[in-house]
Structure 1
Amino acid sequence: MDVHESNRMQAESWDGPGGAYWAVHADRFDRAVAGYQERFEEAAAVRRGERVLDVGCGGGLTTRWAARASVDGEVLGIDLSSRLLEVAERRAKEEGLDNVGFVQGDAQVHPFEREHVDVVISRTGSMFFGDPVAAFANLLSATRPGGRMVLLTWQGPDRNEWIRGTLGVLGAAPGPTADLDAPGMFALSRPARIREVLEAAGWAAVEVDSVERTEWFGEDVNDAMEFLRGLFAWLLEGLSTDEREAAEARLRESLRAHTGPNGVEFGSAAWLVTGRREAHDEH
């Protein structure tokens, strides 16, 4: 797998322990953001016969949706994680989808076929590039003139209750001086930054719309606690026994305060981002 040096740490995480944990819990991660799926699909509006590229496809839920929507089109999912791609490939096979493929790669530098796809999609998978302008320029070159792109990216931590209610109580939420534009979950959390990056990469007609949904973390407190204790194990490793117990107690109380009839849910907010490659440009 050819990985740009600026994405080396991301690759080591996603193709290491981080990606392995996501693969084991792929269904849970998909359920967590399921509230956004219908709006995302409506915006992507994949039509029969279209060629689709799914960036940061993870376990492949959005890739498989695109394959069904395109019917006899062609869909490719790309991700850094070999473990998540194993899940994606297995699920596609189980569903009998023969118009979908997956590749392990860094979308910032992957040699996509030029001007091949009709639509690029990415559901919370496009915020981690070391050089986002180069990455989105590479995706533009893979898109046919007149083609489109649809992204779902997180809004800032101040707009996402789940950040304050999980990472926040563990003392790891981004502070007021944090560089939210750095590669990571919030790299595309500011509309001005989103437009700056995409327009510099050559995308046109960039639109950024706010979407607010709840994010689900578990059937009950114990279920959510077990999941989050594993997800945030890196935060707890260096703590003393007393510190770890105190942190877990704060997390448990936060989860209890956000438990309702549907389980443990927190408020969340994302940006639905759309753009187009101009019908005739110089790329």
Structure 2
Amino acid sequence: MTGEAASVDAVVPDPSNAEQLRDWNGDAGAFWAAHAERLNEGVAGYHGHFFEAAAIDAKADVIDIGCGSGQTTRDAARRASDGFALGVDLSSRMIDLARRTAERERVPNARFEQADAQNHPFADRSFDIAISRNGTMFFGDPEAAFANIARALRPGGRLVLMTWQPFEENEWIRTFLGVLAAGRELPLPLGAPGPFSLSDPERVRHLLTSAGFTDVRLRGVSEPMYFGPDLDDAYRFVSTQFGGRLDGLDADARARALDALRAGMAEHDTDRGVLYDSAAWITVARRGPA
């Protein structure tokens, strides 16, 4: 079957992604692998929007960029029942989890490879659709990355992305980072690479058209982010995920910040769990004929 990535002994990242590889093969990847189910639940409100835009048919060959623990790859593979889906990610831990989960769930046409999509030698014109749920925001050189993805798509192939809208539109991270800063002026994750590097529609259009994509369209969607079934559970999860923001605080200041976090989360505890507002872009583009 066409579209399979070349086999490599170990991922060789583009130099601009070396730090990302260290993070995702280190503590960040370990956290995401250990909490894969919760992290998938967190953005579950966007799942329908994402796959509606992807419109994967049964014969499609799909590549999933930054697939993480593989939920989107498996769901793409289920839709592409006569094709396949290949998930790639920098994190060896998450790729291992993705493989094991696909085997357990009996999704044989879901395949996974640890790879840097920015420079990986995908076969030219070998995929019908490229998808990415929050995976393309972390490229060190997005121009090169999107050009490489475009090269891997067949002419007319589609690119479907989910990325965050601007920081100010995302109550969840704005609130958590603000509370845990405890009055300090700590840096925010606004630059590139980072979770908000593709939050500006004009930048996205420029990057994609420069890479050879056409008909670039962004649609804003807003859904609640889920952090746990109840206050205690959600507080444990969030205080772990964002606990690094407390570094440098003394014991009293740390306790006050955590108390403030818990109090704020109590105000978001609903009969559907602890929910915060969020906002994302669903971007769809086509590979040009060249």
TM over 0.5: yes
Describe the shift of the 1:54–1:25 C-alpha distance in structure 2 as closer, same or farther (beyond 3 A). same
TM-score by length of 2: 0.93
Structure-2 residue corresponding to 1:229: 239
In 2, distance between residues paired with 1:77 and 1:122? Answer: 9
The AA in structure 1 aligned to 2:248 is: G
| CA deviation after TM superposition for structure 1 residue 79, in Å | 0.4
**Contact 2:181–2:246 at 8 Å: present in 1 too?**
no
Structure-2 residue corresponding to 1:44: 54
Is 1:101 the counterpart of 2:120 in the alignment? no
| CA deviation after TM superposition for structure 1 residue 4, in Å | 1.0
Deviations 1:31-71 (A, max 9, x none): 00000000101100110111000000001000000110000
Q: Which moved more, 1:112-121 or 1:195-204?
A: 195-204
| CA deviation after TM superposition for structure 1 residue 243, in Å | 1.6
Give percent identity, aligned residues only.
47
Is 1:30 the counterpart of 2:40 in the alignment? yes
Matches within 5 A, 1:205-216: 205-216=215-226
TM-score by length of 1: 0.95
In 2, distance between residues paired with 1:179 and 1:124? Answer: 14
The AA in structure 2 aligned to 1:96 is: R
Is 1:241 the counterpart of 2:251 in the alignment? yes
SS in structure 2 of the partner of residue 273 of structure 1: strand
Deviations 1:188-235 (A, max 9, x none): 001111111111111111001100000000111110111112112322
Describe the shift of the 1:39–1:26 C-alpha distance in structure 2 as closer, same or farther (beyond 3 A). same
Structure-2 residue corresponding to 1:156: 166
In 1, distance between residues paired with 2:231 and 2:107? Answer: 37
Gaps of 5+ in 2: 1-10
**Contact 1:181–1:188 at 8 Å: present in 2 too?**
no
In 2, distance between residues paired with 1:185 and 1:27? Answer: 20
Of 122, 132, 150, which residue of structure 2 is paired with 1:140? 150
Of 82, 89, 93, which residue of structure 2 is paired with 1:79? 89
The AA in structure 2 aligned to 1:75 is: A
- Aligned Cα RMSD in Å? 1.7
| CA deviation after TM superposition for structure 1 residue 270, in Å | 0.1
In 2, distance between residues paired with 1:164 and 1:74? Answer: 38
The AA in structure 2 aligned to 1:248 is: L
**Contact 2:182–2:253 at 8 Å: present in 1 too?**
no
**Contact 1:49–1:70 at 8 Å: present in 2 too?**
yes
| CA deviation after TM superposition for structure 1 residue 100, in Å | 1.6
In 2, distance between residues paired with 1:256 and 1:140? Answer: 45
The AA in structure 1 aligned to 2:95 is: L
Matches within 5 A, 1:1-283: 1-171=11-181, 180-278=190-288, 280-281=289-290
| CA deviation after TM superposition for structure 1 residue 172, in Å | 8.7
**Contact 1:14–1:80 at 8 Å: present in 2 too?**
yes
SS in structure 2 of the partner of residue 188 of structure 1: coil
In 2, distance between residues paired with 1:143 and 1:172? Answer: 47
